[in-house]
Amino acid sequence: MPQSNSANSVGVITPQIAQFDEPLTLVSGKTLASYELIYESYGELNADKSNAVLICHALSGHHHAAGFHEGDKRPGWWDACIGPGKVIDTNKFFVLSVNNLGGCHGSTGPTTTNPETGQPYGSDFPMVRVRDWVESQARLADRLGIEKFAAVIGGSLGGMQALRWSIQYPERLHYSVVIASAPKLSAQNIAFNEVARNAIMKDPEFHDGHYMVKNAIPKTGLMTARMLAHLTYLSDDAMGEKFGRDMKGDEVGYNYKPEFQVESYLHYQGEKFSTTFDANTYLLMTKALDYFDPAQYYQHDLAKCLDEATCKFLVVSFTTDWRFSPERSEEIVDALIEADKDVTYARIESEKGHDAFLIPIPRYINVFGAYMNRVVKDLKL
Amino acid sequence: MPQSNSANSVGVITPQIAQFDEPLTLVSGKTLASYELIYESYGELNADKSNAVLICHALSGHHHAAGFHEGDKRPGWWDACIGPGKVIDTNKFFVLSVNNLGGCHGSTGPTTTNPETGQPYGSDFPMVRVRDWVESQARLADRLGIEKFAAVIGGSLGGMQALRWSIQYPERLHYSVVIASAPKLSAQNIAFNEVARNAIMKDPEFHDGHYMVKNAIPKTGLMTARMLAHLTYLSDDAMGEKFGRDMKGDEVGYNYKPEFQVESYLHYQGEKFSTTFDANTYLLMTKALDYFDPAQYYQHDLAKCLDEATCKFLVVSFTTDWRFSPERSEEIVDALIEADKDVTYARIESEKGHDAFLIPIPRYINVFGAYMNRVVKDLKL
């Protein structure tokens, strides 16, 4: 992360926890009697609380988007874009980044103790939908006295939250930034999710989702899920460029140990993920993705759905993203135009696939940065 | 299969077995002291044995390409293309279709009894490469007195065999037909294979590949492998058209049972495959795919590699095939042109993805059929 020298880093960050005791009834009909949200903030909230920006994370993301946790060598996942003088400029904005409900990084989720049983929720944790996340984020904003966000911003599943915000609380955001996202999953997207879920749930160490009380982890299933997900995040070109057919040794091994570099890479990623991410959270997040389809309540007319929105939009896509291709972003753009909304669209040339949204690609940074400057000027921040 | 009425079907077919007692030394250096190949044939071998066509099968294929096994309702996997009056016209050609060595449909493979132990080979069955298949197919041709094939034909991994034939035994084929194939796997292709292999090998029921003696099957791993493979055989468009976001019921279930139609379809395919296909064979076949790269022995110059060939070529690709995209076929075509070979190329418009090669798409059938007529005329069959 070249931009993470001390001059433009938000520095050492300590997450905070907000406890909510007002029950939250979820879209599924289930109720959480109480819950916690873990979050980080970067920059200062101004006097009239008009400079807040909400960052929404993706499937395997979390609240730690920028800066460093004490002792860490690697910064948060979007440090390339958040910091003093960066695209999301912490000299101008108060940036709020929350771990989603159902997550496994500190917000209440499957690994949390269920007050009713004294055991971890595990698979008893209720399913959450994108609407539930928006609702819980809105309550956190209430808590912090933020009536209206300058912008709600997210990539991938985070972009779906930014889109959902625009119709769920239209009066509570000025700008929505939807990056590398889609208005709903395709059959292929759902299929990839289901292969991963099936691998997790059929892992004998899954124990119907109550693996924690058995001191077990469905490691094989999680590893399959992560290896597969990685495949969908990278383009064929990017993998070709990074690994090609390079082998670890000079000779073909005639055995089943990883021998192509790309195999070792996937194993490393899978191993790491399977020991740090919670399987039930993975299941929950993928179901939230599958279910997301705001237009379904408007006769499948996305323009009619987005007619609710009053904010302005920036939509960004990347040419080799085959998880959520540019065409998926353009469905959103077309619907926004049809609904007579203010929308700016950038289709960024990149060979990096879906992961491009995390990478400081020059044109992406320039367009995104210019748009955020427009937000600053428009709102006189 | 609309073309499978009795008038243009090869009818009821009984497979045959050829036993080989001359040892076969594989590329890996290992030797099979003896082995069997199961095969089928359709049509009559003419007096001078000049009308033989070899069909090479793909990853999960087998020798049963056309007609019906006694009592079966479904015909062989390429019945759309093989039969009297069809593209590969059994009134003209003697069509030979062999189960590859290492397979699980009757040729010697991991499920066969290892004469040294009296137990199934399991994971002790040696790895085979595309070259080994060509060698074993050539020995079968010897046995049948076929000195030179009119054509060697295959799709996907079968296309790699057809390509390999052209340089390994250039004097033994007049035509090579390479459909929906590639000159080597990309990093992404290898990665998909490795996700599948890892899922199989980490399945606790795999028992280091000796599951048969434990009366076990690595069902979960095989199911993951098949679900994933299916995903790569179908295009995003084809899945969208076939399933979209259709659900089995009217209401969202908020549970992890398959509820989108595409999930049920994948489960069905995965379940079926996991009880009928051998896991070790799956591993072997994917490694043969990964290793295939004939140009590596010619300074990675495919044109130089194909300079060995003396046959004529038909290369076919399908527009939405993202497993082996048209660009991969065009690498072969470009190399053949550079090597001054006779090559005909058709890029067929289809929304069916990789699976298109199995489907009687009109332009595909027309081009392929016209080319096979050319073979008939050229060889005066």
Cross-chain CB nearest to A240 (options B126, B187, B227): B187
Chain A, nearest residue to B255 by Cα: A127
The pair phi, psi for residue A53, each rounded to 5°, is -125, 135
On whether both A19 and A90 belong to a single domain, the answer is yes
Instruction: Note whether residue A371 is domain-resident.
Output: yes
Report the Cα B108 to chain-centroid distance in Å: 17
Distance from CA of A71 to the nearest CA of B (A): 34
Cβ–Cβ below 8 Å for B243 and A185? no
**Is the confidence at residue A297, as pLDDT, over 50?**
yes
Mean pLDDT check: name the lowest of A141-155, A248-262, B88-102, B311-325.
A248-262
Distance from CA of B30 to the nearest CA of A (A): 10
Copy the structure tokens of residue B347: 């890029």
Measured between beta carbons, the chain A residues lying within 8 angstroms of B190 are: 245, 260, 262-263
Cβ–Cβ below 8 Å for B194 and A260? yes
SS3 A96: strand
Instruction: Note whether residue A1 is domain-resident.
Output: no
**Given B64, B89, B354, B355, the catalytic residue:** B354
Instruction: Note whether residue B314 is domain-resident.
Output: yes
Distance from CA of A46 to the nearest CA of B (A): 41
Q: Which of A269, A125, A279 is nearest to A196 (CA)?
A: A279
Q: Burial, A232: exposed, middle or buried (Cβ in 10 Å; 0-12, 13-18, 19+)?
A: buried
Chain A, nearest residue to B266 by Cα: A191
Q: Look at residue A249 in the predicted model and tell me its pLDDT.
A: 86
Instruction: Note whether residue B1 is domain-resident.
Output: no
**Is the confidence at residue B222, as pLDDT, over 70?**
yes
On whether both B180 and B207 belong to a single domain, the answer is no
**Given B203, B307, B321, B355, the catalytic residue:** B321
Query: Which CATH number goes with the domain that contains B233?
Result: 1.10.1740.110
Active site residue B354: yes
Cβ–Cβ below 8 Å for A236 and B188? yes
Measured between beta carbons, the chain B residues lying within 8 angstroms of A254 are: 28-30, 126-127
Cβ–Cβ below 8 Å for B240 and A287? no
Copy the structure tokens of residue A231: 């495949």
**Is the confidence at residue A46, as pLDDT, over 70?**
yes
Distance from CA of A356 to the nearest CA of B (A): 17
Active site residue A57: no
Provide the residue range defining the domain that includes A171: 6-185+294-378
Cβ–Cβ below 8 Å for A236 and B201? no
Instruction: Note whether residue B270 is domain-resident.
Output: yes
Separation in Å, CA A375 to CA A83, A137, A172, A378: 16, 21, 15, 5
Q: What is the average pLDDT score of chain B? A: 96
Which pLDDT band, with edges at 50, 70 and 90, does A335 fall under? Answer: very high
On whether both B202 and B275 belong to a single domain, the answer is yes
Q: What span, in angstroms and rounded, lies between the C-alpha atoms of A249 and A239?
A: 19
Measured between beta carbons, the chain B residues lying within 8 angstroms of A242 are: 187
On whether both A65 and A173 belong to a single domain, the answer is yes
Cβ–Cβ below 8 Å for A239 and B188? yes
Instruction: Give the containing element (helix H, strand E) for B368.
Output: helix B362-378
Chains A, B: CB contacts within 8 A come to 141
DSSP per residue over A183-225, as a string?
SS--HHHHHHHHHHHHHHHHSGGGGGG--GGGT---HHHHHHH
Q: Look at residue B3 in the predicted model and tell me its pLDDT.
A: 40
Cβ–Cβ below 8 Å for A126 and B198? no
**Given A62, A278, A354, A355, the catalytic residue:** A354
How large is the average pLDDT for residues B60-88? 97
Looking at residue A176, the DSSP 8-state letter turns out to be E
Chain B, nearest residue to A202 by Cα: B220
Q: What span, in angstroms and rounded, lies between the C-alpha atoms of B119 and B122?
A: 8
Q: Look at residue A6 in the predicted model and tell me its pLDDT.
A: 66
Percent of chain A with pLDDT over 70: 98
Q: Which of B286, B312, B335 lies at the terminal end of a domain, its last residue?
A: B286
Which pLDDT band, with edges at 50, 70 and 90, does B249 fall under? Answer: confident
On whether both A85 and A25 belong to a single domain, the answer is yes
Beta partners for residue B68, in sequence order = B12
Convert the pLDDT of each residue in A93-129 to its tens digit: 999 999 999 999 999 999 999 999 999 999 999 999 9
Cβ–Cβ below 8 Å for B283 and A256? yes
**Given B4, B156, B317, B350, the catalytic residue:** B156
Measured between beta carbons, the chain A residues lying within 8 angstroms of B185 are: 245
Cross-chain CB nearest to A127 (options B245, B254, B322): B254
Q: What span, in angstroms and rounded, lies between the C-alpha atoms of B297 and B305?
A: 8
On whether both A158 and A304 belong to a single domain, the answer is yes
Query: Which CATH number goes with the domain that contains A122?
Result: 3.40.50.1820
On whether both A302 and A265 belong to a single domain, the answer is no
How large is the average pLDDT for residues A243-248? 93
Distance from CA of B193 to the nearest CA of A (A): 9
Active site residue A354: yes
Cβ–Cβ below 8 Å for B199 and A194? no
Q: What span, in angstroms and rounded, lies between the C-alpha atoms of A122 and A201?
A: 12
Q: Look at residue B6 in the predicted model and tell me its pLDDT.
A: 66
- Domain tally, chain A: 2
Q: Which of A261, A286, A311 lies at the terminal end of a domain, its last residue?
A: A286
How large is the average pLDDT for residues B356-374? 97
Other beta carbons within 10 Å of A372:
24
On whether both B11 and B139 belong to a single domain, the answer is yes
**Is the confidence at residue B208, as pLDDT, over 50?**
yes
How large is the average pLDDT for residues B252-257? 92
Give the residue from A197, A263, A351 with the most B CB atoms within 10 Å of its CB, the best one to mutate. Answer: A263
Measured between beta carbons, the chain A residues lying within 8 angstroms of B254 are: 28, 30, 126-127
How large is the average pLDDT for residues B361-367? 98
Cβ–Cβ below 8 Å for A243 and B195? no
Q: Look at residue A250 in the predicted model and tell me its pLDDT.
A: 82
Q: Which of B257, B286, B315 lies at the terminal end of a domain, its last residue?
A: B286
Q: What span, in angstroms and rounded, lies between the C-alpha atoms of A329 and A356?
A: 14
Cross-chain CB nearest to A262 (options B191, B236, B283): B191
Instruction: Give the containing element (helix H, strand E) for A14.
Output: none
How large is the average pLDDT for residues B213-221? 97
On whether both B267 and B372 belong to a single domain, the answer is no
Copy the structure tokens of residue B277: 């296909």
How large is the average pLDDT for residues A335-360? 97
On whether both B180 and B323 belong to a single domain, the answer is yes
Cβ–Cβ below 8 Å for A186 and B236? yes
Q: Look at residue B5 in the predicted model and tell me its pLDDT.
A: 54
With beta carbons less than 8 A apart as the criterion, state whether B50 and B381 touch.
Answer: yes
Q: Which of A193, A159, A189, A190 is nearest to A176 (CA)?
A: A159
Cross-chain CB nearest to B199 (options A187, A197, A224): A224
Cross-chain CB nearest to B262 (options A191, A230, A240): A191
Instruction: Note whether residue A37 is domain-resident.
Output: yes
Q: What span, in angstroms and rounded, lies between the C-alpha atoms of A136 and A124?
A: 19
On whether both A123 and A157 belong to a single domain, the answer is yes
Q: Are strands B88-89 and B82-83 parallel, antiparallel or unpaired?
A: parallel
Q: Where are the beta strands (DSSP E) in chain A?
A: 16-20, 24-25, 31-32, 35-42, 52-56, 82-83, 88-89, 94-98, 149-155, 173-179, 312-318, 343-348
Cβ–Cβ below 8 Å for A240 and B194? no
How large is the average pLDDT for residues B36-62? 97
Instruction: Note whether residue B123 is domain-resident.
Output: yes
Q: Which of A31, A100, A91, A93 is nearest to A63 (CA)?
A: A100
Distance from CA of A90 to the nearest CA of B (A): 38
With beta carbons less than 8 A apart as the criterion, state whether B122 and B213 touch.
Answer: yes
Measured between beta carbons, the chain A residues lying within 8 angstroms of B187 are: 236, 239-240, 242-245, 260, 262
Cβ–Cβ below 8 Å for A202 and B190? no
With beta carbons less than 8 A apart as the criterion, state whether B59 and B17 touch.
Answer: no
Percent of chain A with pLDDT over 90: 96
Q: Are strands A52-56 and A24-25 parallel, antiparallel or unpaired?
A: unpaired
- Helices B219-233 and B261-276, interaxial angle, to 10°? 120
Percent of chain B with pLDDT over 90: 96
On whether both B244 and B277 belong to a single domain, the answer is yes
Instruction: Note whether residue A123 is domain-resident.
Output: yes
Cβ–Cβ below 8 Å for B220 and A199? yes
